[in-house]
Structures are given as structure tokens and as C-alpha cells.
């Protein structure tokens, strides 16, 4: 794949494609050579930080109700009580990731990655405790929302561009 024509939307699309490609081949590797959560955290970093810097206002302020959390794949994930909507969650996740306030937890002695905690040490509070298996569905949902918003913005810009004198 060549250069970007539309960096923001293509970066999101390519990142999701990268995750999908990895999951297509990961089972061909021994368990100790599978780095799915390393890849997922790297992609999470890119998808949360890069587009947010360019298009924060496009992130919907949808309330984080139990029903909505279920729809976006976050049934077991705990969101900090001070975070009320999706835009706030993304903003707080961005700060947590940018300052590497991230902890990995395992539920057993095998040291599997079961939970990924995002914190805000500066404010001494929890941002979110993601069940590791819910990271990919959340990224897919969030990416879909952002791509929809970017395509709508691009379409709107084309219809309202200045066309010059007649």
C-alpha cells in the first residue's frame, strides 16, 4: 500500500487492517511468540492519540450507560466514575497512554495479560480497567465511529468548498 491520500481516515483503516492481518496469522506461532496484546496496545496508542489530536470535536459525547458499554464491547471493562461519555473516555485514555500510566495485570501465575489498567496518576484516579479481550472490539467500534465522522466531515467540506468567482 502506498502513500496516504487522507491521512487521518487511512491511518485508522490501516491500523484496523493491521490488527486483522495479525489475527489471521497469529495461530501459526507458538504461544510464547504471539504478541497480540503488544500489537493491540501499540494500535490502541495510535488510534487514541493520533486521531484525537486532529479531530477531538468529532468524538461523540454519547453517555456511557451499561447498555451502550455492552454495545461497544465493554461488558466487563470498568470505567472511572468521573467519566460520563465517550469523548471524556477517549480524552482520559489519551492522557493515560501519553504519560504511560498503564498497568498490565494477570489473573493467574501464567502471566497472561488479562487486564489493562489505564490511570491518571496526576489526578490520582482510574480511567478504565479494560478486560484484555474487550480491547479489540472497542477499537473496532471506536474506529468505525471515527471513520464515519471523518467521511461525513470530508463530504460536508466538499459540498461547502469555495468554488471561486462564476
End-to-end Cα separation, the chain, in angstroms: 39
The residue segments making up the domain with residue 141 are 7-150
Q: Are 118 and 60 in contact (CB under 8 A)?
A: no
Q: Which residues contact 93 (CB under 8 A, 6 or more apart)?
A: 48, 118, 127, 128
Question: What is the number of domains present in the chain?
Answer: 1
Q: What is the pLDDT of residues 42-59, one digit of tens each?
A: 888 888 887 656 677 888
Tell me if 159 is assigned to some domain.
no
Asked if residues 80 and 92 have their Cβ atoms less than 8 Å apart, the reply is: yes
* CA diameter of the chain: 73
Q: Which pTM value belongs to this model?
A: 0.81
> Mind listing the pLDDT tens digit for each residue in 103-159?
999 998 878 889 999 999 999 999 999 999 999 999 999 999 989 988 877 765 554
Determine, yes or no, domain membership for 124.
yes
In a domain, 160, yes or no: no
Amino acid at each position: 500500500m502506498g502513500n496516504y491520500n487522507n491521512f487521518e481516515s487511512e491511518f485508522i483503516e490501516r491500523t484496523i487492517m493491521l490488527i486483522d492481518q495479525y489475527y489471521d496469522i497469529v495461530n501459526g506461532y507458538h504461544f510464547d511468540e504471539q504478541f497480540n496484546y503488544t500489537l493491540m496496545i501499540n494500535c490502541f496508542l495510535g488510534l487514541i492519540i493520533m486521531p484525537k489530536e486532529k479531530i477531538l470535536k468529532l468524538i461523540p459525547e454519547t453517555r456511557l450507560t451499561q447498555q451502550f458499554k455492552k454495545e461497544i464491547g465493554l461488558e466487563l471493562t470498568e470505567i472511572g466514575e468521573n467519566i460520563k461519555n465517550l469523548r471524556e473516555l477517549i480524552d482520559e485514555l489519551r492522557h493515560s497512554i501519553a504519560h504511560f500510566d498503564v498497568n498490565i495485570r494477570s489473573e493467574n501465575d501464567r502471566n497472561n495479560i488479562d487486564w489493562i489498567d489505564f490511570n491518571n496518576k496526576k489526578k490520582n484516579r482510574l480511567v478504565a480497567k479494560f478486560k484484555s479481550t474487550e480491547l479489540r472490539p472497542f477499537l473496532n467500534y471506536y474506529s468505525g465511529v471515527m471513520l464515519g465522522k471523518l467521511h461525513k466531515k470530508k463530504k460536508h467540506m466538499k459540498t461547502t468548498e469555495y468554488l471561486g468567482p462564476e
